[in-house]
Chain A
Amino acid sequence: MAFSVAIRNPALRILFRNSWALGVWLLLGALLLWYSTLIPVFGPFQITSITKNSLPLVYLAIGQAIIVISGGIDLSLGALLLLSNVIAARFMAGQPLPTVVLVALGIIAGLALLNALVGFIITLSGVPDIVVTLATGYIWSGLALWILPSPGGGTAPEMRWLFTGSPSGVGGSYWPPLLMLLIPGALVAIWSRTTRVGLSLYAVGSNKTAAQLAGLDVRRAKIVAYGIGGAMAGLAGLAMVALTGTGDPRFAIGANATLNSVAAVVLGGVALTGGVGNVFGVVATGVTLIMLNPILIAMRVDSNNAQVIQGVLIAGVMMFGGLVAFLRERRS
């Protein structure tokens, strides 16, 4: 009885609607708590380390989540990360701060436009998202190698401070990376749930025809989603150059990043069929995926087994997700 009273409270209703996102944040909290018992000291160094190292994946996962919610999927996000990373490393090296800021803003805006164009091409041509973005992914990877043929380049200390909390990239304050982790995720999450365009992504993603009949601009929704994905990939590339202080054009880095972004999105409760999910949950699962590695190392799990465990974990969570959806459907 108490529960049915409570549910009329609007705040609680929002909580229940976002129960999966809440769950993954609780899971992350539990993992952090557990990790802290596995190591001798858990302090600012560890918090900084985990947050800053999570940034590239979290940004990419936010971008992927928005695109998946709108009914698409973008296999080129990792390649866009590479592109952003090498442009930043090549054109920021040795430059004064104003130039560095301009390059950073230029990368984010440029990649947003570039990927919005890809979204436009998808809506125009009717070719499936997965095919178009697979192709563009190869193009961006090739372009990255052309811009920076081998690892190198650099960035400004201020840029490194922004994403890592320290001008050298290691052992700084945890506030800058923590804020850089939470703010973009929160902004995109709130935007997607409160604005007309943001909500139209959910509508288009869950039923394109219905959305069209209701008078929503389906094409605009898709272009906006891909634009945001491009901007987030740009941000991820900047975070990566801040972490290492150099650029790296290797294809495998982009390919891995794409796969991890899809894993984070799936774990974060965003349905690959589109229209369902909360972007903020994806922030937690991005950090969780990064956390798994140190935990497994601390447990002395062999690296080969660690990969298997990671896969089993994703499959397991997915099946529980499916079970929840199935039970809900059967009840209603």
Chain B
Amino acid sequence: MKRRNRIYLIGSVLVLLALLVGGCVAPAPGAAPAAATAPAAEAPAKEGGFVLGVSNTLVGNAWREQMICSIKAQARASGLVDRLVIANRNAGPTEQIADLENLISQGVDAIILNPSDRDALNAVLEAAIAQGIVVVAVDQAVSAEGAYVVTNDQTAYARIGAEWLFETLGGKGKVVEMRGIDGVPADTDRHNGFLEALAKYPDIQVVAETFTNWDPSTGAQQALDLITTIEIDGIWTSGIDYTVVEQFQAANVPFVPIVGADNNGFVKQLIELKDQGLIGAAVTNPPAIGAVGTAIALDALTGKNPERVTLLTPKLFDNINNLEELKAIYAPDEQPGWSTYVDIEPYTLYNGSADVSACKGPGE
């Protein structure tokens, strides 16, 4: 009898396990296997109804979340996409290779990825391309043969902003360079762009260089220390901007010209604090690069032969000449860290920050 009980027990544990697994995932809708039966190789003949795969390996980061939402919004607005398969987790190249293989297994027509490594993913990306899958790397480049690459021009990002600052200062004065994370490619590129601009203005003196680690509170502390201890004529930031402006208010120090990114909080300050003497410029570094990548993937799928490499040149909006543009991109309903520049001509099809913020993909 004991033995028999044990068999029943083992059996029931197995059944319960199966129920547990089934119960946990059964509520997810739209997973009918029939939806994914179209083989990727037929892609060029198709007019729509595409399945797009997305791979991202940094979760909990506002910029990346907005990037994914822009992909969803663009896919929905295009009307060409049936569904998105999104592999999104904190991971390195090992896991991203597994995720990309899973996307291939899902039978996707195109893969949009933010790569965790320039070279380590090449074998799997080239295997996907060999099967007729369109591969688009956004934000950072990959070296895989046949992949489309869509990136923001980080060197130009710093050069354009720094040139505006030096010009605004009349080519003369003491400035601070507030960088991002030491050693990260984007930070190195931006520093090079900053130096390019600096070379053209011999009377500009860099009195301090800090690394904010792209952390708003770290940048705020550094700014407070700087503006209360040394004489500064202008500040260039690598996108940690609105908390720096707040320090001027907190310390009751007169504003100096400042360069930041298209962060919603900074755009708001540029508009509202202009009367109190704030002069500044917002340089775009759009996470909507994901939407641009989606547009390029769809162009490739529908036989429009887009360019292999797309480099988005940043735009600069200052509150002297471009106040109306700043007011147009300002998104009152979003967080201070929201990147306001979401409509990128001629690629994006959705309608402004509200569509991206809704974060709804096709069929959601």
Contact = CB atoms under 8 A, between A and B. Distances in A.
B17 A23 contact: yes
Q: How large is the interface on B (under 10, 10 to 19, 20 to 34, 35 or more residues)?
A: 35 or more
Nearest to B55: A297
Contacts of A303: 59, 86-89
B17 A53 contact: no
Contact of A296 (B13, B25, B30, B183): B25
B47 interface: no
B85 A45 contact: no
Contacts of B21: 27, 30-31, 313
Interface in B74-128: 83, 85-90, 92-94, 97-99, 101-107, 117, 119-120, 123-124, 126-127
A229 interface: no
A276 to B, nearest CB: 16
A327 B25 contact: no
B98 A324 contact: no
Main secondary structure, interface of B, reads helix
A38 B103 CA distance: 12
A307 to B, nearest CB: 8
A317 B39 CA distance: 37
B13 A40 contact: no
A254 B10 CA distance: 35
Quick one: which of A26, A312, A316 has the most chain B CB within 10 A? A316
A309 B25 contact: yes
Contacts of A331: 2, 5
B6 interface: yes
Contacts of B39: 40-41
B120 A300 contact: no
B107 A248 contact: no
Contacts of A295: 25
Given A27-B18, A303-B86, A40 B107 contact: yes
A39 B117 contact: no
A41 B105 contact: yes
Interface residues of A, number: 62
B17 A253 contact: no
A238 interface: no
B86 A297 contact: yes
B333 to A, nearest CB: 23
B172 to A, nearest CB: 39
A324 B12 CA distance: 10
Contact of B101 (A16, A170, A250): A170
Interface in A282-326: 290, 293-301, 303-304, 306-307, 309, 312-313, 316-317, 320, 323-324
B20 interface: yes
A252 B90 contact: yes
A231 B193 CA distance: 48
A293 B98 contact: yes
A4 B3 contact: yes
A246 B119 contact: yes
A230 interface: no
A38 B36 CA distance: 8
B17 A317 contact: yes
A248 B93 contact: yes
A176 interface: no
Contacts of B107: 39-41
B116 to A, nearest CB: 9
B31 A300 contact: yes
A49 interface: yes
A228 interface: no
Contacts of B103: 297
A126 to B, nearest CB: 37
B7 interface: yes
A150 B119 CA distance: 14
B346 interface: no
Contacts of A328: 6
A304 B33 CA distance: 23
B14 A26 contact: yes
Contact of B6 (A16, A39, A317): A16
B208 interface: no
A112 to B, nearest CB: 23
B30 A300 contact: yes
A38 B35 CA distance: 9
Quick one: which of B29, B31, B99 has the most chain A CB within 10 A? B31
B323 interface: no
Given A27-B17, A27-B18, A293-B98, A312 B24 contact: yes
Interface of B: 1-7, 9-10, 13-14, 16-18, 20-21, 24-25, 28-31, 33, 36-39, 59, 83, 85-90, 92-94, 97-99, 101-107, 117, 119-120, 123-124, 126-127, 183
The 7 closest A-B CB pairs, nearest first, are A40-B107, A294-B102, A168-B123, A299-B28, A303-B88, A53-B98, A49-B101
